[in-house]
Structure formats: structure tokens, C-alpha cells
Amino acid sequence: GEDVEQSLFLSVREGDSSVINCTYTDSSSTYLYWYKQEPGAGLQLLTYIFSNMDMKQDQRLTVLLNKKDKHLSLRIADTQTGDSAIYFCAETLATNKLIFGTGTLLAVQP
């Protein structure tokens, strides 16, 4: 199947860490991605990880990949109010074709 699942909602306090989880289904995915969607704006690519890696860190963002369990997570350190948005994980099943997760709404409380 092509279902990529995420929890719907996450609420954190400003300054705390946020962890957004994603479960994908296709073990042949080459790359896995995290996108951010702010209201009225297009999707912004935050980071990506190649399937043969298990961790990638990019400033406040840390991506963990458990290929055995097909589990991907995005950790945002020192979460700010500007991080409030919907976050989508995505996988590539074929060249350039993206399958998106269901999206997680992150609400950051001041």
C-alpha cells in the first residue's frame, strides 16, 4: 500500500522540543522528506534523508530513520512560535513522485 501515516496534532510549549512521527509503507523508498506548510503558503522542503542513513541533523532539525520499522521522525529543538505549521513527511516511490503523509498540525504555545 501507499499509506503514509502521521499523528494529526501536536502541541508544545515554546522552547521545548517537538517530535513528529511518520510511518511509511514502502521499503523501497529512496529518499524520505519533511515538508512544512504554513497557512496560505506552499510546501517548503525542510530536510530529507537518504534511505541508507539512520540520522541526519540540520541545525535545529534532527531526522531519525528506522528502516526496519519504516518509521521516520522529525525533532525540532527549541521550538518557536514560527514553527507552528502543518508538517508532512513524504516518500518517493519512483523518480520524483512523492507520496505524502497525512500531515501533523504543530501548535506552539507561547
- The least distance separating other proteins from the CB of residue 15, rounded to whole angstroms, comes to 28
* Alpha carbon distance 88, 2 (integer Å): 15
Tell me which stretch binds other proteins (CB under 8 A): 14-22, 51-59, 76-84, 91-99: 91-99
* Alpha carbon distance 4, 44 (integer Å): 18
Contact present, 16 and 102 (Cβ < 8 Å): no
Among 52, 69, 96, 110, binds other proteins (CB under 8 A): 96
Give the residue from 40, 36, 44, 48 showing the smallest Cα distance to 92. 48
Among 1, 28, 40, 59, binds other proteins (CB under 8 A): 40
Q: Where on the chain is the footprint of other proteins (CB under 8 A)?
A: 4, 8, 31, 33, 35, 40-45, 48, 50, 88, 92, 95-103
